[in-house]
Structure 1
Amino acid sequence: MLPKKTMAMVQTGPRQLERRDLPIPPISADSAILRIEACGICGSDHEQYEGALNTPYPVVPGHEPLGIIAAIGDVAAKRWRVDVGDRVCVETMLSCHCCNTCLGGHYHLCDRRQIYSYIPLTVAPGIWGAYSQYMYLAPNAIVHRIDKSLPPEIAVMFNPLGAGFRWAVELPGTSAGDTVMILGPGQRGLASVVAARHAGAGTIIVTGLASDAKKLAVARELGADYTIDVDNEDPRERVREITAGRGVDVVVDVTSYATQPVRGALDYVRRGGTIVLAGVKGFTMQDGKRRQKTVPDFVSDMVVWKEITIKGAIGVLSSGYRKAIDLIESRKIPLALMHTHDFALEEADLAIRTLAGQVDGERSIHSCLIPPS
């Protein structure tokens, strides 16, 4: 039987999270309530926490939910093919599923889309994020069943690993034997290593900073053939050496805030190759005003001369999530190497700051919140 209220962490402003008890709504025939087992934490959680995303307040954050169906209407159970007691992964996007964009297979770009964790409490029923014990599943949600015997901290990796499959495999069309270069060894960079290796990439190169030494070591354990410390090595020269001057087939930029990797990608990629830009660069202050960052020295003629394909990447589609879930359930990959921290729900502030590298002595790769049961 459902409790009447759920404990949730509510963001009331930049860097302000507070515990609240929120009402759990009755369900309709086409909705459900999810008991959260784990909520993954990623870079956009930090951006939301800092107020960089212009999120409306108050709001329950958390867009990587893993949990157990606690209550479900008959229509929703039939549509999603799940029932009470099933464990599911929940997709981030809430789209209309009926416009031309959605029907064309690009539902993540729907003009009317909403995103879990960015819908404020003022929109009923309020519990739209996974920084909570319980969460509302709307009729237009997309859920995927996943093995209940998996540890929750591993099962919740469906989101970053799904991004790896979409960004490093689906979007660039990575195929057997390709050389893939991944800029940034964070959780989505490492997920891209796993996905590219699973897709049959011939050579995988990962770049990082000197401070990323442990992450680069994990990249090698997960399948990277080469890692480059850009603070102490010339990545252009190393790519020339590794590829015998040809360049790489695919470059995937998952670095956050840094713009230099975008410029560097033009040098690393081969003629006719593909660059996928998935790392958000954010804003900078100019003349007292906040402006989006641009890429210095971006030579557009190089795109022409080399006939480079450049693709942007935002979000994950069901195909990527399904590939991720299948691989997680196979238990063939030591994904535990990526997971570094579990936090109690009430430690959400600490979890975000740890991921952002703001806690002395702590270096996080993948972490998650575990609500009280």
Structure 2
Amino acid sequence: MKKHRKHAKLTLRNNGDFGPNEVAFVGVKCGAILDLVTKISAELHARVKIAYADASHGKDNIAPVFDTYTYHASGDTIISSDIKKNIFNERIRFSNYDLVLVNGNHFPAKKQIVFLDPEKENSIEKRIEQLNDVQFFIRTQKDFEVFSCLKEKYPNYKEIPVYSINDISAISIHILQLVQQEVPKLNGLVLIGGKSTRMGEDKSQLSYYGIPQGDYTVQLLENKGLETYVSVRADQKAENRKTIEDAFVGLGPFGAICSAFRENPNEAYLVLATDLPYVSDELLKTLLKKRNPKKIATAIKGKSSKFMEPLITIWEPKAYPVLLSYLAQGYSCPRKILINSDVEIVEVEDDLIRNVNTPDEFENIKQELNTLK
């Protein structure tokens, strides 16, 4: 008898209490942690989207009876709200960040950076069970030794890097390396699940280069070393291909992108439609070179076009909550998300991203391509 499953089996995002990549500072006063976070962020903010999680030290604080959002044209927004910490809410709140730095005096995190401060040895001993993935030590005094409890927990402690608290550059570089190690793997996603209503036949089966365009597009992505999936409808087959079935039915490309993230929310996807016959190896090389994981997407735009092309775009995992939030508002247009989000834009010649929707366009472009041979 088949066992009844109450909930759908979904792939979980690799999260800590705040986000996928979080690091707690432990073993020094809170003011010193904030000072270091401020200096590190000044070094890294252009390359890494950083958040800081701390606890309020106000003993008499009272949650407001109404929430206040104070906006400034610069982007500086101050929020006063009745919000209690809840890991499921925090993971959404911090999902857009590459790195969450945490005050480890108040909250644990998946990774830790430990200060060697002679006044805080007891504090480290109390938290020793939380220190399960120490990245490096920071000395507050020259030549201060590693605590005995840390030597016991980490017999290889001599292999763990040690920095001076004043060596901001070295500390920042090490933290940048931690972020770079967590850059999501990039896959390819070829969209062949459309109905091709205007064309009258499956656009992925049209041939511009001697093979079906769906196969040609897969080859373009695989030649770039990308594990490539084909997005299909439930009633559709793609022989000898890794497929992702549309789980968001009736939403077109938007649903295909969401379905890919539902399959694996921890990896990025270079999404490519099959009605773009001028997309080339060189164009993909340019897109990959310009990939910016700090932003939710890296998108191609024609030089004379007002808008990005969402179906020649690298969508990062941090885009998934954004996609779902737009869907909750009744929008299923991936271009609308690109227009209204922080996106890396790669401009190319307009002809490189011409798409084909009708039989006449197909015949005209085939003739153009034959002329170019």
What TM-score bracket applies, with the shorter chain setting the length?
under 0.3
The TM-score, its normalising length taken from structure 2, stands at 0.26
The TM-score, its normalising length taken from structure 1, stands at 0.26
Between Structure 1 and Structure 2, the one with more strand by share is 1
**Larger RCO: 1 or 2 (CA < 8 Å, sep 6+):** 1
- Structure with higher Rg: it is 2
